[in-house]
C-alpha cells in the first residue's frame, strides 16, 4: 500500500475507532457490532505494524477504550484489568499457540517442554461488563469496573440488590484439601483469605436481557443491541433504579490478588484458580484443557453449545494454563501475551418478509418492524426483526414478500440487513409508510431534521401508558409500585386517563384501587396494602422538586442532567414558562435543539393545562437543588479533561458548584475555563482552537483561594 494512502486510511480508522469506542465503553450504546469493531482494530493494528511512522501513542490498539464515569468515584487498579487481543480465524489461534510455546520454552529445561506444549485452557468469553470484586475476610467491600484498565469506577452501591456474591465461604473441604496438597504451598485453602480480589464479568442472562429490553420498550426507551451494554447501563449509568427487579449475575474467571500474592503463588495453573473460585461459591465459565491438536475441535464444539448457556458468549478465550509461564510472557499495555479471544462471526440467514408492522413509542415516534417467516438464528427462533426507520426501508428497497438477509445485531437483536433482489418473483409489494397513528388515527408528522415519523396527539392511548410509567419511574417522580401492570390496570379500570389524574386519587379511592390491582376490598389483604403504599408514594412524590418533574414530563431530548441544569437555572416552573429560546440555550449543556424543544413544549396549550392541574393538586414546582446566585465562580462554566494530580473530578466539580460555577461535559464557545490534567483528550485541542482559558489544577485552586491545600499532598 502506498504511504499516502496508508496515512489517510489510518487517520480514518483512528477517528472511526475512537468514535465507536466512546459510544461502546462510555455511553454503553454501540454504533456497530462487536465483530465489526474488532475487525477495524485488527486492520488498524496491521497498518501500524507496517507503517510505524504514522502510529499514534494514544491508539486504542494499545489501550483499553473506556474512561471512568464521573458519576462514580475513581478506583485505581493495583493489578491492571487488561483486555484481550482478538483473532478471527483458526489459523490465528494455531499461530498464537505456536508463538506462546516458543516464547515459553526459552530458558526452560527439556522436561518442561512437553508440559508446556499441551497446557492451554479454553473458556467461554462471556458478553458482559468486566468487574473486579474485592473481599476482605470473606465480605465484599468494593466492586469496580475496568474503565481504561488502570482506573475504573466504584459501583459498589449499584450492585446491592444484584446476584453478585456479597460474601464467600468454603463449600467443599475435600476439594480444598486436594487443592492444597496439589499446590504444595503454605497457603491454607481451607480458610477464607484475608484479602481476595476476583476478576470476572457481570452479565444479564438471556431471559433477563429480554425482560429488561421489554421494560425499556414499554417505557418508549431505546432498546439495547447487546447484553454487555445493557448491564453496563444498569451498573454504570444509574439505570438500575428504573428496573430494580432486573437481575445481574456474575461469572468469575481469574484471581487478581490473594493475600497480596499474584500469579505463580499460591496457584500453579488457571485451572486451579477456577477450581478454587468455584469452591468459594462463584460461578465460573465453561472451560476445558486443550492443546494444539484439539483446540480447533473444541472451539467448533463450543460454537455448537452456545445456545445452551444461560448467558450470551461472543467468543472463546484460549490462554496458557501454567501461571508461572504467564508471568514469564508478561503483558503489553493493553493485553496479556499469554491469552487471546477467538471471536465467532455474526450468523446470517435468509428468510421471507411476511409483513411490516408499526409500533408507537413513548415520545410518539413511529417505528417499523419486520414480521418474518420464522428462522433459526444464533440459537433462537426469530419471527420479528428491526427495520430501524422508514427511510431505511425506502433506501434499501425492502418490499413485503422479499427474501431478506437477517442477522442478530451485537448477537442479540435481530435486524434486516437487505433484501435478496435476485430472488424476486414480481409478487412483492412496495411498502408505503403510514400517514396516521395506528393507535389513535391522528395524522403523523415528520419534524424538521428528524428521520422518525411522530404522533403528536398528547392523548394517544399508546403513549398514555408509557408516559405514565415514565412519569412514575425512579429517576422521575419515583412513585413506588406504579409499574406497567398496575398502570395498565388503573387505566383499564377507569381510575386514571391522563398523567395528572394520579394526583386526584385520595384516601377514599384506595378501596377502588385495591379492587383494580387485586381481587378483594378486604383491608387485611395484600392488594389493599399495596394500594395504600401506592397512595402514600403518590403523596410523597408531590415534593420531588422541579428537577424530577421536568424529566418526568417526558419533554423530547431532555435527560436527567439537562433537566437538573434547567431547573436550577430558573428556580421554578413559572420562570421556565416565561423564558425564551436564547436564555434556555445559554445554560451549560443545553444546545439549540433542546432549547427549542423545551420552549415549544411550554407553549402548547394542552401542556400548560397539565402543569396548571399538577400545581392545583399540590405538586411543588420549585427547584430543590442548590441554586447559586453568587460566589467567586458565579456564571463561569468549566470543563475538566485528563487526570488531576491531587483531586478527583468529583472533588473539583463540588468545588466549582460550591463557588457558584457550572460544569459542562463538552467544549464550546460557552465555556470559560478548561481544567487540564495529565493525558488530556481531544477537548484540549478544541479549547485551544476556541481560545478558551486553559488552566491546571493549581491555577484553579488559586481562583477559589484554596491553593494552600496542595501542600497537603506534596
What is the strand order of the sheet 139-145 is part of? Answer: 139-145, 129-136, 195-203, 249-258
Does position 511 have pLDDT exceeding 80, yes or no?
no
Q: Which residue has the higher pLDDT, 370 or 48?
A: 370
Q: For position 439, what pLDDT does the model report? A: 85
Q: How confident is the model at residue 290 (pLDDT cuts 50, 70, 90)?
A: very high
**According to the CATH classification, is domain 461-541 in 1.20.1440.130?**
no
Is the model more confident about 470 or about 49? 470
Whether the per-residue pLDDT at 66 is higher than 90: the answer is: no
- Average pLDDT (260-288) is 82
Q: In this structure, what are the phi and psi dihedrals at residue 356, rounded to the nearest 5 degrees? A: -120, 120
| 90-104 helix and 295-305 helix, angle to the nearest 10 degrees | 130
pLDDT at position 626 is: 53
pLDDT in tens, 83-110: 899 898 999 999 999 898 888 877 777 7
Residue 605 has φ and ψ, to the nearest 5°, of -55, -45
Q: How far apart are CA 366 and CA 284, in angstroms?
A: 43
Which pLDDT tens digit goes with each residue over 165-174? 888 887 766 6
Q: Looking at residue 175, what is its pLDDT?
A: 62
What pLDDT, on the 0 to 100 scale, is given for residue 71?
47
Catalytic, out of 7, 101, 112, 125: 125
Residues 9-19: pLDDT tens digits?
887 788 777 77
546-616 CATH choice from 3.40.50.300, 3.40.50.720, 3.50.50.60, 1.10.150.20 = 1.10.150.20
| Nearest CA-CA partner of 597 in 610, 611, 612, 607 | 607
Q: What is the percent of the chain with per-residue pLDDT over 70, rounded to a whole number?
A: 81
Q: Which residue has the higher pLDDT, 706 or 100?
A: 100
- When the pLDDT of each residue in the chain is averaged and rounded to a whole number, the result is 81
**pLDDT of 30:** 55
User: Which whole number is the average pLDDT over 178-207?
Assistant: 76
Instruction: Please enumerate in sequence order all residues whose Cβ is within 8 A of that of 214, keeping only pairs 6 or more positions apart, or say none.
Output: none
pLDDT score at 674: 92
Q: Of 209, 62, 203, give the one whose Cα is nearest residue 125.
A: 203
> Is the fold of 461-541 the same as that of 546-616?
yes
C-alpha cell at 633: 465562580
Higher pLDDT, 282 or 220: 282
The answer to whether residue 298 scores a pLDDT higher than 90 is yes
Q: What is the pLDDT of residues 399-427, one digit of tens each?
A: 999 999 998 765 567 889 999 999 999 99
- Mean pLDDT of all residues in 660-677: 84
pLDDT, position 41: 78
**Domain segments of the chain as ranges:** 3-60, 85-332, 348-445, 461-541, 546-616, 637-712
Q: Residue 351 has which C-alpha cell?
A: 428468510
Closest CA to 676 of 23, 667, 668: 667
pLDDT at 386 over 70: yes
Measured CA to CA, the distance from residue 571 to residue 573 in angstroms comes to 7
What's the mean pLDDT in 145-157? Answer: 86
Q: Is 300 exposed, middle or buried (0-12, 13-18, 19+ CB in 10 A)?
A: exposed
CATH superfamily, with its number, for domain 637-712: BRCT domain (3.40.50.10190)
Query: Looking at residue 484, what is its pLDDT?
Result: 77
Half-sphere exposure of 156 (CA within 13 A, CB side): 13
**Quick one: cell of 425?**
418473483
| SS3 state at 414 | strand
Residue 353, pLDDT score: 96
CA distances from 396 to 152, 390, 403, 433, 526 (A): 42, 10, 13, 14, 54
d(CA 678, CA 642): 5
Residue matched to cell numbers 434556555: 584
Give the pLDDT confidence score for residue 67 in this predicted structure: 46
Q: Quick one: cell of 298?
A: 473444541
Please count the helices (runs of H) and the strands (runs of E) in the chain. 24, 24
Q: Which residue has the higher pLDDT, 126 or 683?
A: 126
Average pLDDT estimate for 531-538:
84
- Residue 3 and residue 47: Cα distance in Å, rounded? 10
**Where do the H-state alpha helices sit in 520-623?**
526-541, 546-552, 560-570, 573-578, 581-585, 592-601, 605-616
For residue 68, name the pLDDT band (cuts at 50, 70, 90): very low
Reported as a single tens digit per residue, the pLDDT across 454-473 is: 887 766 777 888 888 889 88
Stretch 223-235: mean pLDDT, rounded?
80
Query: Contact, 252 vs 273, CB < 8 A?
Result: no
Q: Is the pLDDT score of 577 beyond 50?
A: yes
pLDDT score of 313 more than 90 = no
- pLDDT for residue 65 is more than 60: no
- Give the Cα separation of 100 and 318 in Å (integer): 11
Sign, CA dihedral 630-636-641-646, equals negative
More confident residue, 27 or 139: 139
Residue 302 has pLDDT above 90, yes or no: yes
pLDDT at position 444 over 80:
yes
- Whether residue 400 contacts residue 431, with contact meaning beta carbons closer than 8 Å, is answered with yes
Judge if the upstream peptide bond of residue 321 is cis by omega within 30 degrees of 0: no
Q: What is the pLDDT of residue 33?
A: 58
The whole-number pLDDT of residue 132 equals 94
**Where is average pLDDT lowest: 298-312, 345-359, 588-602?**
588-602
Contacts of 400 (CB under 8 A, 6+ apart): 353, 354, 355, 356, 428, 429, 431
**For residue 541, how many other CB atoms are within 10 A of its CB?**
24
Radius of gyration from C-alpha coordinates of the chain: 28
Cell of 335: 493485553
pLDDT band at 183 (very low <50, low <70, confident <90, very high): low
166 as an active site residue: the answer is: no
Element containing residue 640 per DSSP (H, E): strand 637-641
Position 264 confidence tier, pLDDT thresholds 50, 70, 90: very low
**Predicted confidence (pLDDT) at residue 450 exceeds the cutoff of 60:** yes
pLDDT tops 70 at residue 712: no
User: What is the tens place of the pLDDT at every residue in 54-63?
Assistant: 887 667 775 5
* More confident site: 448 or 303: 303
pLDDT for res 239: 45
pLDDT band at 28 (very low <50, low <70, confident <90, very high): very low
Band the pLDDT of 262: cuts 50, 70, 90.
low
Position with higher pLDDT, 217 vs 507: 217
Most confident of 158-172, 304-318, 555-569, 672-686: 304-318
Instruction: Answer whether CATH 1.10.357.10 is correct for domain 3-60.
Output: no
Of residues 600 and 18, more confidently modeled: 600
Grid cell locating 683: 477537548
The pLDDT confidence band at residue 69, using thresholds 50, 70 and 90, is very low
pLDDT at 233 over 90: no
Per-residue pLDDT reduced to its tens digit, 320-359 = 998 888 888 888 878 899 999 998 877 788 999 999 999 8
What architecture (CATH level 2) is domain 85-332?
Answer: 2-Layer Sandwich (3.30)
| Banded pLDDT at 536 (limits 50, 70, 90) | confident
Torsion of CA 15, 21, 22, 24, to 10 degrees: 140
| 592's grid cell | 439549540
Fold observed for domain 348-445:
OB fold (Dihydrolipoamide Acetyltransferase, E2P) (2.40.50)
Question: Is the confidence at residue 136, as pLDDT, over 80?
Answer: yes
Per the rule left: phi > 0, alpha: psi between -120 and 50, beta: everything else, 353 is beta
Per-residue confidence band for 710, with pLDDT thresholds at 50, 70 and 90: very low
Q: Which three cell numbers stand for residue 201?
A: 464479568
Using the predicted structure, report yes or no on whether residue 695 has a pLDDT greater than 70: yes
Instruction: Confirm if 535 and 548 have CB atoms less than 8 A apart.
Output: no
Amino acid at each position: 500500500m502506498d504511504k499516502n494512502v496508508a496515512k489517510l486510511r489510518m487517520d480514518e480508522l483512528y477517528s472511526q475507532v475512537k468514535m465507536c469506542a466512546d459510544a461502546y465503553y462510555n455511553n454503553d450504546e454501540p454504533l456497530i457490532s462487536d465483530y465489526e469493531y474488532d475487525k477495524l482494530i485488527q486492520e488498524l493494528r496491521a497498518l501500524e505494524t507496517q507503517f510505524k511512522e504514522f502510529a499514534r501513542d494514544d491508539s486504542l490498539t494499545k489501550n483499553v477504550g473506556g474512561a471512568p464515569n464521573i458519576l462514580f468515584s475513581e478506583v485505581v487498579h493495583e493489578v491492571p484489568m487488561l483486555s484481550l487481543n482478538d483473532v478471527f480465524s483458526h489459523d490465528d489461534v494455531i499461530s498464537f499457540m505456536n508463538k506462546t510455546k516458543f516464547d515459553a520454552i526459552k530458558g526452560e529445561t527439556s522436561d518442561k517442554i512437553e508440559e508446556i506444549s499441551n497446557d492451554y485452557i479454553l473458556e467461554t468469553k462471556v458478553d458482559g461488563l468486566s468487574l473486579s470484586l474485592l473481599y476482605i475476610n470473606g465480605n465484599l467491600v468494593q466492586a469496580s469496573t475496568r474503565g481504561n484498565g488502570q482506573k475504573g469506577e466504584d459501583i459498589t452501591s449499584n450492585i446491592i440488590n444484584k446476584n453478585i456474591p456479597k460474601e464467600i465461604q468454603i463449600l467443599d473441604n475435600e476439594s480444598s484439601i486436594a487443592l492444597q496438597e496439589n499446590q504444595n504451598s503454605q497457603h491454607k485453602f481451607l480458610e477464607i483469605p484475608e484479602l481476595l480480589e476476583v476478576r470476572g464479568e457481570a452479565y444479564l442472562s438471556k431471559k433477563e436481557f429480554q425482560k429488561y429490553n421489554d421494560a425499556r420498550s414499554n417505557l418508549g426507551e431505546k432498546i439495547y443491541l447487546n447484553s454487555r451494554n445493557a448491564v453496563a447501563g444498569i451498573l454504570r449509568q444509574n439505570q438500575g433504579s428504573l428496573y430494580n427487579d432486573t437481575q445481574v449475575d456474575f461469572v468469575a474467571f481469574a484471581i487478581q490478588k490473594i493475600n497480596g500474592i499474584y500469579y505463580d503463588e499460591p496457584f500453579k495453573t488457571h485451572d486451579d484458580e477456577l477450581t478454587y473460585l468455584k469452591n468459594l461459591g462463584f460461578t465460573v465459565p465453561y472451560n476445558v484443557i486443550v492443546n494444539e491438536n484439539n483446540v480447533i475441535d473444541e472451539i467448533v464444539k463450543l460454537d455448537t453449545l452456545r445456545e445452551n448457556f444461560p448467558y450470551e458468549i461472543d467468543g472463546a478465550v484460549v490462554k496458557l494454563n501454567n501461571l508461572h509461564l504467564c508471568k514469564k510472557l508478561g503483558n503489553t499495555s493493553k493485553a496479556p501475551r499469554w491469552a487471546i479471544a477467538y471471536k465467532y462471526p455474526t450468523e446470517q440467514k435468509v428468510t421471507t418478509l411476511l409483513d411490516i408492522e408499526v409500533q408507537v413509542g413513548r415520545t410518539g415516534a413511529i417505528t417499523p418492524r419486520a414480521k418474518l417467516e420464522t428462522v433459526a438464528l444464533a440459537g433462537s427462533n426469530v419471527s420479528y426483526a428491526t427495520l430501524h426507520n422508514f427511510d431505511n426501508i425506502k433506501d434499501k428497497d425492502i418490499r413485503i414478500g422479499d427474501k431478506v438477509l437477517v442477522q442478530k445485531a451485537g448477537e442479540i437483536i435481530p435486524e434486516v440487513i437487505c433484501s435478496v433482489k435476485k430472488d424476486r418473483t414480481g409478487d412483492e409489494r412496495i411498502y408505503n409508510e403510514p400517514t396516521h397513528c395506528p393507535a389513535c388515527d391522528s395524522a403523523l408528522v415528520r419534524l424538521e431534521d428528524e428521520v422518525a415519523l411522530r404522533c403528536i396527539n398528547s392523548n394517544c392511548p399508546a403513549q398514555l401508558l408509557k408516559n405514565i410509567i415514565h412519569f412514575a419511574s425512579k429517576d422521575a417522580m419515583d412513585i413506588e409500585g406504579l409499574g406497567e401492570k398496575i398502570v395498565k390496570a388503573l387505566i383499564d379500570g377507569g381510575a386514571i386517563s391522563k398523567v395528572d389524574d394520579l394526583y386526584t386519587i385520595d384516601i377514599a379511592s384506595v378501596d377502588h384501587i385495591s379492587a383494580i390491582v387485586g381481587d378483594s376490598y378486604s383491608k387485611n389483604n395484600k392488594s389493599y396494602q399495596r394500594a395504600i403504599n401506592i397512595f402514600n408514594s403518590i403523596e410523597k412524590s408531590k415534593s420531588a422538586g422541579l428537577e424530577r418533574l421536568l424529566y418526568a414530563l417526558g419533554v423530547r431530548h431532555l435527560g436527567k442532567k439537562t433537566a437538573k441544569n434547567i431547573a436550577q437555572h430558573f428556580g421554578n416552573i413559572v420562570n421556565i414558562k416565561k423564558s425564551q429560546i436564547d436564555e434556555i440555550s445559554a445554560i451549560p449543556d443545553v444546545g439549540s435543539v433542546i432549547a427549542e424543544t423545551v420552549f415549544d413544549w411550554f407553549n402548547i396549550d394542552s401542556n400548560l393545562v397539565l402543569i396548571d392541574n399538577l400545581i392545583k393538586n399540590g405538586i411543588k414546582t420549585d427547584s430543590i437543588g442548590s441554586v447559586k446566585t453568587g460566589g467567586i465562580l458565579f456564571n463561569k462554566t468549566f470543563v475538566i479533561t485528563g487526570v488531576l494530580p491531587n483531586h478527583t473530578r468529583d472533588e473539583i466539580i463540588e468545588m466549582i458548584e460550591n463557588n457558584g460555577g457550572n460544569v459542562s461535559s463538552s467544549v464550546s464557545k460557552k465555556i470559560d475555563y478548561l481544567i487540564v490534567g495529565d493525558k488530556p483528550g481531544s477537548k484540549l485541542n478544541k479549547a485551544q482552537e476556541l481560545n478558551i482559558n486553559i488552566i491546571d489544577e493549581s491555577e484553579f485552586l488559586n481562583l477559589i483561594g484554596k491553593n494552600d491545600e496542595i501542600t497537603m499532598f506534596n
